Amino acid sequence: MALTPFKVFILVCGFCSRFHAIEYPIQTAKQKEVQRGSDVSLRCDVSFLSESSTLQWERDGEQTSNTTLLYNNSAYIILHTVDEHSEGNYYCRLMKDERVETVRIHTLNVSSNSHTDKNKMNTIYRQSSNSDVSLICKSKREYVSWKWTWEPRPNSQTDLIAVEKGREVQVKGPIQPGRLSSTKYNSRVFIFHISPVNFNYGGKYRCITDTGIYTTTILHTIRVSVEPPDGVLKNQSVILTCELSEVTDSVTLVWLRMEGNRGVLGKQQIMTKKNNKLQLTVNLSSNETDLLHWQCAVFTENTLRALAPIINLSSSTTDYPSTSTETSTVINPVINKPAIVFSVLPLFAGILLGALLYYFYRKRMSVRSDPQDSEPVYINISQMRNDRECSGTLGNREKSPEMYSHVRYEKTNLNKRYETPVTSDSVTYSTIYFNKSRFQT
């Protein structure tokens, strides 16, 4: 059967439309309802992600301000402590060859209350020292009393904060409430805010009303440290450690070497309750620490639960990054001590030179402005000549009635007083400049 031009055209159009459908599949929004106050992790995958391509999450056309990670051809995003402001559509978009393709759409709905069933607990992860957490109790009905308790270990429950109708909020410790905690009674909302979160704050947090347990949250904390603690020296290896406070289920710790927001696997290990130490270490040689960014990620199954701080390391010079038991989100960029010395020396030399110039300038101005050194002194020359002819000793000069009755040398200052009046014919005026270092009596 011969193909007419019309049939050929139909076949070509069909093939093109099929190709277009494969490259740009029509996405349907995936509905997801989550509990208020919980953490939500979203993920989307592509079969292959080239180095020139990017995969990122957006919300209503704008990039999100939450955590985003590219790892193993997947894009992850974590939404912390969701509420009604977190609701909406989240788009995972693939940017390739200046084209944008939507891979997945998530529609997020947040429940109006934070109630959890007895067999269901809300689990969250926080990195110690540089993060906070808001534990929220919100209900549709009213309650007479609220309180938050903390159980760091089994059978060790203690009260943190409590309130009853008509009374003030009572702080019972040992964790002090943050600035976002409730400060007065509200029959439907009670919030306990922790800031900052310390590593030993892990455990179970329960919101209890006058009718029983309303919600339970399990907090796991993460700590990252660097060895040696004094810093990274040239040609010296370092050890990075990522540690969890505890685990309730199987957890995977991963050290990632970051290239932008793209993570390259460094080392990983599965953690369970049977592990003696819930930590993962990676030893970096001196040639591996040059201008690299490292990040510790926590996964439960295929869900990203937390990202530990980025660490900036360099082995090109003697470096001293800031480290502590509670590591901050970003360890300060490396500090080159020789560079600091060479940058401070010119500043110090400039200050010293300015001080010397100012000193000589003041000295010169003081010499010019001293009236005792520059002002002329007028004396009776005739009297002095007659006196020298009549008397050659200091004693005779002092006895002469025609000389000064009082002569004092102090800073070339000459005080004179004439005892015998003289006429204009017998007085000669002359300007004499005295040098006190050469003047001799």
Residue 113 and residue 208 in contact, taking contact as beta carbons nearer than 8 Å: no
Domain count, the chain: 5
Residue 16 counted as domain residue = no
Per-residue pLDDT of the chain (441 residues; tens, 9 = 90+): 455 554 444 444 444 433 333 344 445 567 778 999 999 999 999 988 888 888 889 987 777 777 789 999 999 999 999 999 999 999 998 988 878 888 889 999 999 889 887 778 899 999 998 899 999 999 999 999 999 999 999 999 999 999 999 999 999 989 999 999 999 999 999 999 999 999 999 999 999 999 999 999 999 999 998 887 665 556 678 889 999 999 988 999 999 998 888 899 999 999 998 888 899 999 887 666 554 588 999 999 889 999 987 655 544 333 333 333 343 333 333 333 344 444 456 676 778 888 878 777 776 666 555 444 444 444 444 454 445 444 444 444 444 444 333 434 344 443 444 444 444 444 444 444 445 454 444
Q: How many residues does the chain have?
A: 441
Q: Do 30 and 100 sit in the same domain of this protein?
A: yes
Do 216 and 288 share a structural domain?
no
Q: Which CATH number goes with the domain that contains 138?
A: 2.60.40.10
Compute φ and ψ for 360, nearest 5 degrees.
-65, -35
- What's the domain range around 30? 24-110
Per DSSP (E only), the strands in 185-237 are 189-194, 203-209, 212-227
Question: Are both 330 and 346 inside the same structural domain?
Answer: no
Are 361 and 296 in a shared domain? no
Statement to judge: residues 196 and 257 lie in one domain: no
In the three-class reduction of DSSP (H, G, I as helix; E, B as strand; rest coil), residue 379 is classed as coil
- Judgement on whether residues 390 and 416 belong to the same structural domain of the protein: yes
Residue ending a domain, among 275, 310, 334, is 334
Instruction: Examine the fold and report which residue of 110, 135, 164 is the final residue of a domain before the chain moves on.
Output: 110
User: By CB neighbour count within 10 A (0-12 exposed, 13-18 middle, 19+ buried), where does 417 fall?
Assistant: exposed
Burial classification of residue 377, based on how many CB atoms lie within 10 Å of its CB (0-12 exposed, 13-18 middle, 19 or more buried): middle
Boundary of a domain, candidates 110, 136, 157 = 110
User: Does 379 map to a domain?
Assistant: yes
Q: How far is CA 199 from CA 321, 325, 342, in A?
A: 21, 9, 40
Q: Are residues 240 and 295 in the same domain?
A: yes
325 shares a domain with 246: yes
Q: 294 and 270 in contact (C-beta within 8 Å)?
A: no
Instruction: Assess whether 36 and 61 both reside in one domain.
Output: yes
- Does 235 lie in the same domain as 195? no
DSSP-derived letter for residue 296 is: E
Task: Find the radius of gyration of the CA atoms of the chain.
Answer: 43
Examine the domain organization and report whether 184 and 168 are in the same domain: yes
User: What is the distance, to the nearest Å, from the Cα of residue 75 to the centroid of all Cα atoms in its chain?
Assistant: 26
